[in-house]
Structure 1
Amino acid sequence: MALSSVTRNVFSILPLLVIITITPLSSSFSPTDKVTTELLNQLCAKPPIDNITFCIWQTSSAVTIALDLGGLVDMVLEKTRVFGNMNLSAMKDLATTTTDPYLKDTYKICAIDYELAVTAIEGAQVFARSKSYELVPQAASKALDIISSCEADLKDLKNVSNSIRNLVFERMCNIGSVFSSVLTS
């Protein structure tokens, strides 16, 4: 008895379907995945992270390897929050110590931006800790968007040293956004 063409096609596709169902997808991550050097390298290579070396430096430590991916996201957000508060404090100090009225106004506006950005990062932390990972990238991206306006204001000024600190904060926000977004893809 000859096999019909439909039956032959099913049997030829069957091995492929079995392989697909038992092979894990390499792009899927779970909050409980343990952090390894390979995982960090893979995460830091994801766009739009523009500086892999900075990303790896920012996230690698002896403590990191003991974490799972959810803990790594929380650690990155905590580092970002702390650094954002340091920048906020610096902006407030610059606003009170400068004698240039234009700089004073710019620093005051940047201080407000930092308050909003740090609040957004704190919101991202709340989402991460409650395992609402789909909301974390949005909050981290919001912080990045907010602080970008401060960066734009400072870029136009000469002899302003705090611009580097803004760039670092932006990169930290970006890392938090990318790392948390892999938990929802």
Structure 2
Amino acid sequence: MTTRVLISFFCDDRPGVIEQLSALINQHGGNWLDSQLSRLGGRFAGVLQAQLPEDQQEALGDALSRLEADGIICSLTDAGAAPQESLATQRLTLLGPDRPGIVRELTRALRMAGFNIRSMETSVETAPMSGEPLFRAEACIELHSDSRLDELEWQLDAMADSMTLEIDLIPD
């Protein structure tokens, strides 16, 4: 019998980290499935899903914890049940002057309208002409039977006006 696990990690950014992790998964009869990996600041972080024999989960967890001696901090957890299918998705893009609270306001609007974030990437960039910091976000959001698109559009319009942001919703 096999199981799916999630492995999260972070460490100093250096060559060979993914090779170490994939070798351990392979040594325990596992298969690397999905992953999201990124350098943030001077650190490298990621989360991945792997499938492996159930009787290897504890041994893999022990092996991952020994990577701390190499500066790789890992956590292993059961992947849980597959999520229920959403009715549809929308792509949300946001761009505007960087300031504290943008992510908090955005996620509050999504929650209040009954939406779930499937994925989100954010960055702060330098504006080409002014050199001012610009906040950029891209998210894939899930619409469910109880989601209220009109409520979300109203919330996002109010947020865009008050924070001088450009926010677009595009059906996937």
Q: Quickly name the TM-score band, shorter chain normalised.
A: under 0.3
TM-score with structure 2 setting the length: 0.24
Question: What is the TM-score normalised by the length of structure 1?
Answer: 0.23
Q: Which one has a larger percent helix, Structure 1 or Structure 2?
A: 1
Largest Rg, 1 or 2: 1
Structure number with higher strand proportion: 2
